[in-house]
Structure 1
Amino acid sequence: MQARKLRRFEERAADRLVFFSDAVVAIAITLLALELPVPEGHTVAEFRSAVRDDLGHYLAFVISFAVIASAWGQHNRVFCYTERTDTRLRMLNAGWLLTIVLNPFATKLLTTEGDDVETVGLRFGFYALLQFLAHAAVIAMERRMTSHDLRAPDVPPELVAAGEPVLYGVLLGFGLSVPLFFLTSYAWVLWIVCPVVAGRLPRSRPAATGGD
């Protein structure tokens, strides 16, 4: 009876961690939209011109929305079968949340003026570094759960590792782009190419089990 009650308390703690993380992600995405400039104009032509002038802001919003959604998807995958938490896992999750709440600020940096190589490298490099750290935190949390048996014991390994190729592709893309932004402003292409290539790599299939 005592063990069953303890398990229930542990599951409740894990649920609270997930609910809190989901709320923070929702707030971060909402803040992205609040930063969008409202186009002005008394005619259709003026309105279209205002939209074109702020196109960079809208593109940065779409990129950050997709990035946060991807990070949340990986976080959801990792925590989907979690039954317990520990101090280290909560600290790693707090670090992950820090990268999420900094996204609106980093997105704003992408749209600030300054076209010289060093300025672009700093602005885009910081953004890429932030996403690299976010996905690295997901990997660290995944490793912590595996090494300390924080998941349900009957979870098939192939379900836990289902998103790993794309996760490592995103990590590689953002990581490689950080130094490259000081050489070219087109380093952001790696943000797209690496995850796509990683997602198409062949995955090892679980061994088939014979019937009774």
Structure 2
Amino acid sequence: MRGEAVSIEPRAHGRPVAFRLPFEAASARMLASAPLLLESRMAMPQVRPGLTHERVGIFADAIFAIAITLLALELPRPEGEDFRRLGSFFGDHFGSFMAFAIAFLMLWFTWRAHHTLFDQLQRVSQLVLLLHIPLLFFVVFLPYTTSLFGEANASHLPAEADGRALATGLFAGNEAILLLAQGALFTLVLAQRLHRPDTDLQRLRANAFIYWAIGIYWLLTAAASAWAVDAVPFLWLATPLVAAGTVRVLRMRR
């Protein structure tokens, strides 16, 4: 036995059994799947730097969140003797709290639509990025016009006062441009086919029509504030009816 080579090769029924170490098996699996990974990567659309929809969506989410927070910071706060007549204080500033509630709801629904849209995108285009300039500008500007509207109504100015009509028109116009920009965003995504293949196109078109309709409606209320400023806030309350009417018209056209 001395001087002879000892075989440690495992055998079964007299035949050698092939086996691999764990790292050899993992390497073999990686090599086998490499062509599939390469093929799937080549099938994916190449996105230019700066046009990833995830980063644009995250940035827009942050802007919406900041704007909603700033709405609360603009609310009037009682000071000193105001606490002795707190109920009267809230009554005097009812316009500010009403403007806050309306602006909050409009920002919420606009953000929700924007977030849902970006969950259905494959990529964004330069035009989509450009359209975000007016969209996010008026999102950030909304707390200011909300404050103007609230203060003008808290001052108990007469209906014929220029300041009250202008503040109401600015608030309504701000909301209108924000909504129209969101509607244009839906339309642009459809026109440039930036959505995923499994996207519900009918729902996307419906959202585009709804935001166009509501935006135009708010633009008309902004114009109406020049001669019917007292009626304009009540017209805003009809916004859900405008949305429901738009949906009904779309269903009748199918």
Do they superpose with TM above 0.5? yes
Cα separation, partners in 2 of 1:120 and 1:79, compared to 1, 3 Å: same
Cα shift at 1:158:
2.1
Percent of aligned pairs with the same amino acid: 25
- Number of residue-to-residue matches in the alignment: 207
The question of whether the paired residues in 2 share the 8 Å contact of 1:173 and 1:193 is answered with no
Match of 2:205 among 161, 172, 179: 161
Which segments of 5 or more consecutive residues in structure 2 lack a partner in the other structure? 1-37
1:86 partnered with 2:86: no
Match of 1:210 in 2: none
1:204 partnered with 2:248: no
In the TM superposition, 1:161-200 aligns within 5 A as 161-185=205-229, 186-200=231-245
The question of whether the paired residues in 2 share the 8 Å contact of 1:89 and 1:141 is answered with yes
1:38-82 CA-to-partner distances (Å, cap 9, x unmatched) read 234679752223222322221221111112112212322332301
Match of 1:118 in 2: 162
CA distance in 2, matches of 1:77, 1:107: 26
Taking structure 1 as the reference length, what is the TM-score of the superposition?
0.83
Secondary structure of the 1:182 match is coil
Cα shift at 1:91:
0.8
Match of 2:52 in 1: 13
Considering only aligned residues, what root-mean-square deviation do their CA atoms show, in Å? 2.8
Match of 1:25 among 64, 70, 85: 64
Q: Which has the higher contact order (CA 8 A, sep 6+)?
A: 1
Secondary structure of the 2:196 match is coil
CA distance in 1, matches of 2:219, 2:86: 38
Match of 2:148 in 1: 109
CA distance in 1, matches of 2:217, 2:253: 28
CA distance in 2, matches of 1:59, 1:194: 15
CA distance in 1, matches of 2:63, 2:108: 12
Which segments of 5 or more consecutive residues in structure 1 lack a partner in the other structure? 208-212
The question of whether the paired residues in 1 share the 8 Å contact of 2:179 and 2:215 is answered with yes
Taking structure 2 as the reference length, what is the TM-score of the superposition?
0.71
